[in-house]
Amino acid sequence: MASSRLRPFIPLIIFIVMAIFLGVGLTLNPREVPSPLINKASPAFTLPQLHSPDKTLGHTDFVGKVSLFNVWASWCAACRQEHGFLVQLEKQNILPIYGLNYKDDANDAKRWLIQYGGNPYVASAHDLDGRVGIDWGVYGVPETFVIDKKGMIRYKHIGPLDFHVWSKNIAPIVKQLQAE
C-alpha cells in the first residue's frame, strides 16, 4: 500500500515544515507588539501642553490634516537617536509632528529638547502618569503614529525613526493619506 510506504516519511516531513517555520522565525521579532488601533479612531484624550500648560492638546487637534504623533521622553536613550531626524523632517514641512511626552518631568523634557537640537513638535502633550500612553497602547519609547485627516490611526512605527524607515514605510503612506 502506498500510504504504508510513505508513513515512515511523516516524521521527516513534519520536521521540515517545522524547520521552515523556525527559519522564518529568525527573521521576525517576537518582542514586537503590533497595534490593534490601526484603522481605528484616535483614542480620546486632552492633556496640558508641555511648553504652555495652560493650553491643551487633544485628539480633536488631529482632525483636518495628516500628522505624526511621536511618543518621546528625556529618559529614553533611543529617542536621542531619532531626534536629529525629526528636527530635519520638521524643516521639510511635509506634515505637522505632534509629541506625547511620556512619563517625564516637564523641566527635564524641555531641557532635553534644547540640548539635543531643537523642538520639532507643533506641540507636545505632557502625559505625566502615562495613562494616555496606555490608551494609545504605548509599551516602548519611542513610538510614532501616522494619523489621517479624519483623526484615524493608520500606521504605527515602534522604535526610533530614521531616514530609511521614513522613506521606505512612512513617506508613501503619508503621501497617499494627504491625497485623500
Partner 1 sequence: MIPEIGHFALILALCLALVQGTFPIIGAHKGIIGWMELARRAALGQFVFMAIAFIALTHAFIVNDFSLVYVANNSNTALPLQYRISAVWGAHEGSLLLWGFILSIWTIAVAIFSRSLPLDTVARVISVMGLISIGFILFMLLTSNPFDRIPLERIPVDGRDLNPLLQDIGLVMHPPMLYMGYVGFSVAFAFAVAALLGGKLDATWARWSRPWTAIAWVFLTIGIALGSWWAYYELGWGGWWFWDPVENASFMPWIVGTALMHSLAVAEKRNAFKSWTVLLAIFAFSLSLLGTFLVRSGVLTSVHAFATDPARGVFILLFLGVVIGGSLSLYAWRAPTIKSVGEFKLLSRETLLLCNNVLLIVVTATILLGTLYPLLLDALGLGKISVGPPYFNSVFVPITTLLAILMGIGPLARWKSNDPDKFKKQFYIPALISIILGSAFVALVYGDFPLLAVLGVTLAIWIVATIILDLKNKLTHRQNKLVALTSLPRSYYSMTVAHIGIAVFIVGITLTSHYSVERDVRMSQGKSLSLAGYDFKFVGVDKQRGPNYESHIGVVQVSKQGEHIVTMHPEKRYYIVQQNPMTEAAIDAGLFRDIYVSLGEPLPGGEAWAVRLYYKPFIRWIWLGAIIMSIGGLLAATDKRYRVLLKRTARNSADNTAAAKA
Partner 2 sequence: MKLKQITIIFVLSFWTVIVQAGIYAFEFDDPAKEQRFKQLSEELRCLVCQNQTLADSNAGLAMDLRKELYKQVLSDASDEEIKNFMVSRYGDFVLYKPPVKTSTYLLWFGPFILVAIALIILLRVIRSSNKQTPTTLSDADHKRAQQLLSENKD
Residues that bind partner 1 (CB under 8 A): 5, 8-9, 11-12, 15-16, 18-19, 21-28, 30-34
At its nearest, how many Å lie between partner 2 and the CB of residue 131? 8
Q: Of these partners, partner 1, partner 2, none, which one is at the site of residue 37 (CB under 5 to 8 Å by kind)?
A: partner 2
Phi-psi sector, 96: left (phi>0), alpha (psi -120 to 50), beta: beta
Return the H-helix or E-strand segment holding 153. strand 152-158
Q: Determine which residue in the list 81, 116, 135, 151 makes contact with partner 2, applying CB under 8 A.
A: 135
Reference 144, options 126, 128, 121; nearest CA is 121
Q: Which is nearer to partner 1, 98 or 155 (CB)?
A: 155
SS3 16: helix
Tell me whether strands 67-72 and 97-102 are parallel, antiparallel or unpaired. parallel
Q: How far apart are CA 4 and CA 11, in angstroms?
A: 13
x/- letters, 76..115, toward partner 2 (CB under 8 A)? ---------------------------x------------
- For residue 151, CA distances in Å to 4, 8, 81, 120 come to 61, 58, 28, 20
Q: How far apart are CA 166 and CA 12, in angstroms?
A: 43
Q: Determine which residue in the list 35, 56, 88, 169 makes contact with partner 2, applying CB under 8 A.
A: 35
SS3 126: strand
Q: Determine which residue in the list 48, 84, 130, 159 makes contact with partner 2, applying CB under 8 A.
A: 130
Q: Determine which residue in the list 34, 55, 93, 107 makes contact with partner 2, applying CB under 8 A.
A: 34
Q: Does 159 bind partner 2 (CB under 8 A)?
A: no
Cell of 31: 518582542
What residues numbered 41-80 form the site for partner 2, per CB under 8 A? 43
Q: Determine which residue in the list 11, 12, 54, 129 makes contact with partner 2, applying CB under 8 A.
A: 129
Binding site for partner 2 (CB under 8 A): 31, 33-37, 43, 103, 129-131, 134-137, 139-140
